Amino acid sequence: MIYFTGILLTGDRNRTDWSVNAVPSDSNHMPCNTLTMSDVNPTTYRNVWDRMSCHNGGNVCEVPKRHGVHILVILLLLLLTSPCCRAGTYRDSVSIYKDLVLNSDYSPDVRPIWNQSQILYVYVHFELLAIVEVNDVTQTFTCNSFLWMSWNNEFVLKAALGRQCLRRVSLSLGDRLGESMGKAMGKAMGKASRAHSGVMKETAHQVVKWLTYRELSDKMVSNLRRLDNNRKKTPSR
């Protein structure tokens, strides 16, 4: 079994930029290599393990010395430029988010943002057997089994909307398992778990929708409309 730590970047809906770090589930070491979603065989995790390369017998991952200076320079530039840039980016994104939710033509199956170059970070940790499919438009991934999963939506937290139930985690099992789990409400950050009993059949797939927008509550939409109306009524100084 492989433990994955995934970072999903959904700025470009025509591309799924997954960065997957893979280590054994019983290992205490940091991941030795970073793999993109294209490197992962959709039906088995063995190729992931085979393609990982480590130094010193697989226990330590080293960065070549010739790259050390370049990495430090890049990190310093990011530290100097990120605060001012990110503040404006999130501020603009929050306004776009609210406007799209209030728009009657808004499609709830697509993430609410006009500027598709805007990166939406969702840090997801999950333990599973195999990834079957990833769809970045509907924000859905399909796997044949998972034991636990947690998520942290940085965009929603930065937008100060973390206290409201924005996400619904849909946990559904295949008919071959003979049971279903229903749905559990999730917020900007949370976790879900499922301990499978017995032997998991290869034909039984589990679909986990961990970032959908169709389940926005009526109360939230009404609150956004009320705030928008109050903002329009307030005279500008």
For each successive 10 residues of the chain (237 residues), what is the average pLDDT? 34 35 36 37 35 38 52 65 48 56 56 51 57 66 60 53 38 37 43 50 41 47 67 65
Residue 221 and residue 102 in contact, taking contact as beta carbons nearer than 8 Å: yes
How far is 98 from 85, CA to CA, in rounded Å?
A: 21
Residue 229 pLDDT: 74
- CA–CA distance, 173 with 182 (Å, rounded to integer): 9
* pLDDT for 235: 65
Q: Is the pTM of this model over 0.75?
A: no
Whose CA is closest to 166, among 119, 210, 229, 102?
210
Q: Report how far residue 182's alpha carbon sits from residue 132's, in angstroms, rounded to the nearest whole number.
A: 21
Give me 4's structure tokens: 């994955």
AA letter at 132: V
The dihedral sign for the CA sequence 175, 180, 184, 186: negative
